A and B are shown apart, each in its own frame.
Chain A
Amino acid sequence: MRIVLAVVLGRLVRVLTRLRGGGSALPGWVALKVAPHFVSYVMDRVRVGSNKPIVVVTGSNGKSTTTAMIVAALEANGHTVFSNPSGGNLPQGIASSMLAEVSLTGSLRATAVVLELDEAYGPKLVDIIKPTHALLLNVQVDQLNRFFEPERVIDMVTAIGSSASTVLVNDADDNTRLIGNRLTDGVRTVQGFDVSDELAMSGVYDAQVGFDNAADKRDPVATVTASRGSTATIVVGSETVHVDLPSPGIHYAVDAAAALGMASLVLGESANIGGAASAISALKPVYGRGESVEAFGAPLTIVMMKNFPSMQANLDALTEKPESLYLAVDEGTPDPSWIYDIDLSSIDHVDVVTGTKAWQWETRLAYAEIPVGRVEPDPTVAFEAFGSSTTPSRQPHRTAIVNYEQMMDLRRVLGYKEIEGE
């Protein structure tokens, strides 16, 4: 009965939140208040009498994109997949996603489940999700105000991996490679995906925690052998496929290799990897990650800077210096000290810097001797100023480099009402 009530109330809140635009967590939060065991109830019903694959995806960066890619790959192979698209990786986010798809009695129609998990909540969530497969993408320097140090994240990601019988790790990342070796025992199957050596030099930013015992790599189930702009070549078993990436950058090629590798593990011999690659190629950018929106009568490319590795990878992927550039960072990034590690050679000016941390960025840019048109901490004023002071000419689009919270605000201001996670 509580489940029915949770579904009804959660859905009601969901309708209201959609009207308003904004975050996706509230409906799930309400459902969990009414029925605290909502997620585990739904997952238990998924598992009843079947061997449905339940895949979890975790790591510092690339969770949302890779999750979307695995879903596409499995759907192209005939699966009906339940997932928590983009960002809804906390318990309330997963509950919100479930609300959209469960019956009143808490049943999902899915033949496979693919969930991205927050590193910190993941170790507890796997107790109720009980995954069959875990994909460990990377451990990079991320949200140290929350995680304190990468070693703790390594432990969290290890705990998430240990909950599955089949684990796929990124062997190009020293930390997940080490985790893979830690998890290798008689009980569990640990596989790896990789990036060819010459590519790895220029695009893999694993956290330097000084674990010197470089662990052995596994024979890769998938390898990125070439990556240029928005295209990648990936070898999966005996097949070589070409993938159009949702946005440029080797980090997206790594996500695609992870997704194809996981699809091949889930589907086994019957996997149609070519079909999976086509489905991945058809994906649009995940919400706010390199997507193009309309602003001031021209396209605006939104590049998210979550942390040092994600920003550096996105800057590395720029094919030319942005002509019209907006930079916004606020309290969603409590400690932006990592901006000093960023190689800024791919930008030659910034038109407008904004957000509560605007002056910290201006300090950084001053030391890089990169000109800034205007520093305006108020994002509303700043964005208007950006529109009126820039005219795309050499490039057809403007570029905004923003943190997650500013990305959400920007989309709302521009009238993109759909909730992340929908």
Chain B
Amino acid sequence: MHIVHLFPETLGLFGDSGNVLALRKRCEWRGIDVRVTAVERGESIPSNADVYVIGSGSSNSVRLVGENIDEVRDALTNALTRDASILAVGAGLHLMSDRIDWSDGSSTTGAGIVSGVSVPRPTRLVGEFVGCVADLSVAGFVNTGHRLETDAPAHIRNVVFDDSHDEVQNDGVEFGTIIGTHSHGSYLPMNPAIADSIIARTTGQSLVKESAHIERADRAAQASRDAIRKRLGL
């Protein structure tokens, strides 16, 4: 399995390396051959990888990546025709959209891989949440000033933040081999079933070989999610 981590320096504000780490270690622990290529801005993006991870960043980082969005679009569109997977988190998700609008009236062109427009939120969304992906319970932390206006199906449903964010019910997008979410940093470590679904789809294997490492990581992730659920009073 070949993972491309897009722009880890520019888009790595919220521990996005954790998502790549979870994918890599969960492959290694199962004896699946895995390699990671970090691609910084200005470097060419391989279009023959299996999984592309693009992470979170500040407004300026989004504008910077937006300067060369054509290359990102070409590489990822090409990769998608080969059924490659994309995990886009936070700013990375917004960069996958058609356009990012800013509160000063300017806008940044996105890769157009997810149909929709990223618009400033009236108030910033910050905090822990729980939700569901199909019948899986997931949890995480969101810190975003934008939301994605899209008709694409949501990745996470039945989202619950604390009382101040009752208006948010869904998060992110999921269609084909694309997953996008605002749950940043430790999303895959905290929700290893999502990591495993990406690995299983990519390798075409059912992931049977468990290990003490996986058991430990999954137990800790479960307890982390339970702790968030408890903090939210659920």
Contact in complex: B14, A338 (CB < 8 Å): yes
Contact of B12 with A by CB under 8 A: yes
Contact in complex: B12, A211 (CB < 8 Å): no
In whole angstroms, how far apart are the Cα atoms of A340 and B19 in the complex? 9
Interface residues of A, CB < 8 Å — how many?
33
Q: Which of B46-54, B58-66, B79-87, B165-173 contacts A (4 or more CB under 8 A)?
A: B58-66
Chain A residue contacts of B14, Cβ below 8 A: 144, 335, 337-338
Chain B residue contacts of A366, Cβ below 8 A: 213, 216-217, 220
Closest residue of B by beta carbon distance from A340: B18
Chain B residue contacts of A364, Cβ below 8 A: 18, 186, 189
Contact of B152 with A by CB under 8 A: no
Contact in complex: A208, B185 (CB < 8 Å): no
Contact in complex: B58, A149 (CB < 8 Å): yes
Chain B residue contacts of A270, Cβ below 8 A: none
Contact of A145 with B by CB under 8 A: yes
In whole angstroms, how far apart are the Cα atoms of A338 and B13 in the complex? 8
Contact of B200 with A by CB under 8 A: no
Chain A residue contacts of B64, Cβ below 8 A: 210, 212
Chain B residue contacts of A338, Cβ below 8 A: 14-15, 185
Q: Which of B30-38, B93-101, B223-231 contacts A (4 or more CB under 8 A)?
A: B223-231
**Contacts A208-B12, A359-B223, A359-B227; is A151 near B189 (CB within 8 Å)?**
no
Contact in complex: A335, B17 (CB < 8 Å): no
Contact of A148 with B by CB under 8 A: yes
In whole angstroms, how far apart are the Cα atoms of A366 and B18 in the complex? 12
Chain A residue contacts of B220, Cβ below 8 A: 359-360, 362-363, 366, 375
Chain B residue contacts of A377, Cβ below 8 A: 227
**Contacts A208-B9, A338-B14; is A145 near B224 (CB within 8 Å)?**
no
Contact in complex: A145, B60 (CB < 8 Å): no
**Binary B-proximity of A353-377 (CB < 8 A = 1, otherwise 0):** 0001101101110110100000101
In whole angstroms, how far apart are the Cα atoms of A212 and B61 in the complex? 10
Chain B residue contacts of A150, Cβ below 8 A: 13, 58
Contact in complex: A341, B17 (CB < 8 Å): yes
Contact in complex: B189, A363 (CB < 8 Å): yes
Chain B residue contacts of A367, Cβ below 8 A: 18, 21-22, 25, 189, 217
Chain B residue contacts of A356, Cβ below 8 A: 227, 231
Contact of A209 with B by CB under 8 A: yes
B residues near A, CB below 8 A? 9-10, 12-18, 21-22, 25, 41, 57-61, 64, 124, 126-128, 141, 143, 145, 184-186, 189-190, 213, 216-217, 220-221, 223-224, 226-227, 231
Question: What are 25 inter-chain pairs, A to B, with CB distance below 8 A?
Answer: A141-B13, A145-B127, A148-B124, A148-B145, A208-B9, A208-B12, A209-B58, A210-B10, A210-B41, A210-B58, A212-B64, A334-B128, A335-B185, A337-B14, A340-B15, A341-B15, A356-B231, A359-B221, A360-B227, A363-B189, A363-B221, A364-B186, A367-B21, A367-B189, A369-B213
